[in-house]
A and B are shown apart, each in its own frame.
Chain A
Amino acid sequence: MASTDITAAAAIVLRSRTATGLLRRAARRPLPVLGSALLIVLILSALLAPWLTPYDPFEMNVVDRLLPPNETYWFGTDAYGRDIFTRTLYGGRVSLVIGAAVAVASTVVGLLIGVIAGYFRTADAILMRVMDGLMAIPGILLAIALMSLTLASVWIVIMAITIPEVPRVARLVRSVVLSCASRSISRQRVPWVRGFRGSCCATYCPTPLRR
């Protein structure tokens, strides 16, 4: 969803030859522009966190617990006396990294599995049954079990979220590939590589760019 917004925004930028052209195009499609702008603000605020706030996200000032937003603490403080605005900025780092990593990992792996399963019938039977099984394992169990490996906690979280997420992406991709692959263009006797890549493209090229 965000990816279609970003590509749409990129298309707007790429196709404008003048600045006014860009503004006009942007005005016609406000949503993707707004979405991308917000994302950029979020990323910047997370990157520049140490310069945007003087507080330490872990420092507890027990006297200042549970305060509402005021001049000193812009978002107020939590139950431990920590500044919530600071924690939002620093927490953005963790969330963005994990979110991006999980999205990329599950999309890449799920796309691969989904396309293979949709295109090759025998692979479909095996891969999809594995996916059914993986979906059933709760993420928190994975996270606890992964704790026994000495990895940094961020990697554990990424793995624990990605593993149950991959089957969902794979199923969705497979379903699209199944309907695309059955269309006349792929049923022609084309070399399997072209048909394969063709299915990939059909699934993932956003509509505006295809025209």
Chain B
Amino acid sequence: MNKTSAGTEAFHGRKNKMMRILRVATLSLAMMGPLVASAQTQPPAATRANTLRVVVHANLQILDPVWTTAFISGRHGYLIYDTLYAMNSRFEPLPQMAQGHEILEGGLLYRIRLREGLRFHDGSAVRAQDVVASLRRWMSRDVMGQQMAAVTDTITAVNDQTFEIRLKERWGMVLDALAKPSNPPFIMPERIAQTPATTQVTETIGSGPFIFVRDEWRPGNRVVYRRNPDYAPRSEPADYLSGGKRALVERVEWLYMPDHNTALAALNAGEIDYFEAPPLDFINVLARNRNIRIVNIDAIGTSGLIRPNHLYPPFNDPRARQALAHLVRQEDYMRVVVGNPQLYKPFCGSFFMCGSANGTEVGSEPFREPNVERARQLLREAGYNGEPIVVLQPTDRAQYNAATMVLIQALRRAGVNVDVQAMDWSTLLSRRANRNDPYQGGYHLFVTTHGGPTTALPPSNTWFNTRCERANPGWACDAELDRMVGEWAREASPEARAPILERIHRRAWEVIPYVPYGQYTQPVAVRSNVHGVLEAGIPVYWNIEKR
């Protein structure tokens, strides 16, 4: 055989091999096709005009707003569930699903009647039995619910429309608890609410103004809600979280965009209508755009706090904690965390949110301006001798990271030896629950935030809780303060509560369960054709229309 035909044969051999491989590859790709396609369900076309597209601040993962305290799950809850009572702009609990209530037997019996015509998304009527089951489940999970459970004797459904809460002792917070804005007792059908509180509820049947469209849910990308045509709103106008919840758009789409610049560009281009949490440095840029409006939905805002570990020296001594407070210039923290002076107060010395009904600042006068000399003296008195102070720094949470850096610099400038432990937020959450010695897996200081009306009430301000082992990480411990808070809770009238509050606040600035570093607010940014954005403390999507 001559060389040419051998070469040609080899060439054809290789060509056949190539064809074979190509055939196999195409076949396998083709088989994958239906597999992939089955995972994508086609959402129906919806008009842009009646869809509200929102960029949310976090990825919705847990659908059970009673099981988790995640903010995003709470906002999801407000869309598809409803509550018995809700707060108005004066933070008074008003009936929402309830028709009204009677307080009998000197404050020991609450009889509450439901409104007529309330229905769940599956068509069934809302009955008192559903309410009782939902309340029981909530009371075993939520902190304020647990407080209520401690003073409650029984909760029973008298008939389909009425139920009763019988208390063991007088407690003035019942309606406040039922109207709690964060982690409220959402009402679910009885059979769903009977899921043990340690397990997530996965069904999403509520009685709220919107319905969760499960088929179009893409975790990590998009959540879709449609208007509930059978929802019967109250007749009053919407006021904060109370009043009539009229759904004025057909669809609400939540989009998760991890990059803020992308969300900003999308808002500018009109691809989205509502930016839930624009980074605070963007607010001025957005305000200059004629197509965009900045809306302040949260008058009370967020309060940042530095939490010392009360279990170990030096911060087990109140003098060291006071020293810490003397080192804080709130303006520094606010400049770095917030930036825009329109969004924060230069100083807020209240543990219960400046601007709220309980926003007293008594006792905070010595701490208005930093006093490094006094701080050093107090630290010496508390026995601090230059040992490393372990500060936990969450590098992946921008606001907490910023505040922590200001704290570290302030400590170092005062001559404190700081041991910075940088980690991601998940690691920090585990580490801050660790009761060990700071040098063996524990810590001395970390930074966090809280806010809203819940923080404004002493019993529901969880970081203020001074119950030692049962307190939040940091384990603040002061029996006297705890007793005073209980006393405040038992009173119902503002006149009785005011003097107790003042005493609580003075003591708080001596005992210092935590050091507040500033109060600020997060506005939302919407396109100019979006109207009816409610000042409700959190983003809610009823009352909003696009014109």
Contact = CB atoms under 8 A, between A and B. Distances in A.
Nearest to B413: A59
Interface in B299-345: 331-332, 335-336, 339
Interface stretch (B33-41, B203-211, B401-409): B401-409
Contact of B332 (A58, A62, A66): A62
A142 B402 CA distance: 26
A81 B427 CA distance: 27
B27 interface: no
A80 interface: yes
Most chain B Cβ neighbours within 10 Å, of A58, A79, A153:
A79
A63 interface: yes
A80 B336 contact: yes
- Interface residue tally on B, bucketed by range: 10 to 19
B429 interface: no
A80 B399 CA distance: 11
Of the listed residues A62, A79, A153, the one surrounded by the most CB atoms of chain B closer than 10 A to its CB is A62
B402 A147 contact: no
A144 interface: yes
B423 A62 contact: no
A58 B408 CA distance: 10
B281 A147 contact: no
A65 interface: yes
Contacts of A80: 336, 402, 405
A68 B422 CA distance: 29
Contacts of B424: 144
B429 to A, nearest CB: 14
Interface in A138-180: 144, 147, 153
A202 interface: no
Nearest to B410: A60
A62 B422 CA distance: 21
A65 B427 contact: no
Contact of A62 (B281, B335, B427): B335
Contacts of B335: 62-63, 65, 81
Contact of A59 (B332, B336, B339, B409): B409
Majority-rule SS of A interface residues = loop
A63 B329 CA distance: 13
A79 B409 contact: no
A81 B336 contact: yes
A79 B339 CA distance: 8
A147 B393 CA distance: 14
Contacts of B427: 144, 147
A66 B281 contact: yes
Interface string A30-70: 00000000000000000000000000001110110110000
Given A79-B402, A80-B402, A60 B409 contact: yes
Contacts of A66: 281, 339
A21 to B, nearest CB: 50
Interface string B332-367: 100110010000000000000000000000000000
B306 to A, nearest CB: 16
Contacts of B281: 66, 79
A157 to B, nearest CB: 12
Nearest to B331: A62
Nearest to B334: A62
A58 B335 CA distance: 17
Nearest to B424: A144
B423 A60 contact: no
Contacts of B409: 58-60
Interface string B419-449: 0001110010000000000000000000000
Nearest to A63: B335
A63 B405 CA distance: 15
Contacts of B332: 62
A49 to B, nearest CB: 20
Contacts of B331: 62
A65 B284 CA distance: 15
Contact of A65 (B336, B405, B423): B336
Contacts of B402: 79-80
Contacts of B339: 65-66, 79
Contacts of A81: 335-336
Contacts of A144: 424, 427
A77 B249 CA distance: 44
Nearest to A81: B336
A58 B410 CA distance: 12
A80 B405 CA distance: 9
Interface of B: 281, 331-332, 335-336, 339, 402, 405-406, 409, 422-424, 427
20 contacts: A58-B409, A59-B409, A60-B405, A60-B409, A62-B331, A62-B332, A62-B406, A63-B335, A65-B335, A66-B281, A66-B339, A79-B281, A79-B336, A79-B339, A79-B402, A80-B402, A80-B405, A81-B335, A144-B427, A147-B423
Given A65-B335, A144-B424, 7 more contacts: A62-B335, A65-B339, A79-B339, A79-B402, A80-B405, A144-B427, A147-B423
6 cross-chain pairs, A with B, having the tightest CB-CB distances, nearest first = A62-B335, A62-B332, A62-B336, A60-B409, A80-B336, A80-B405
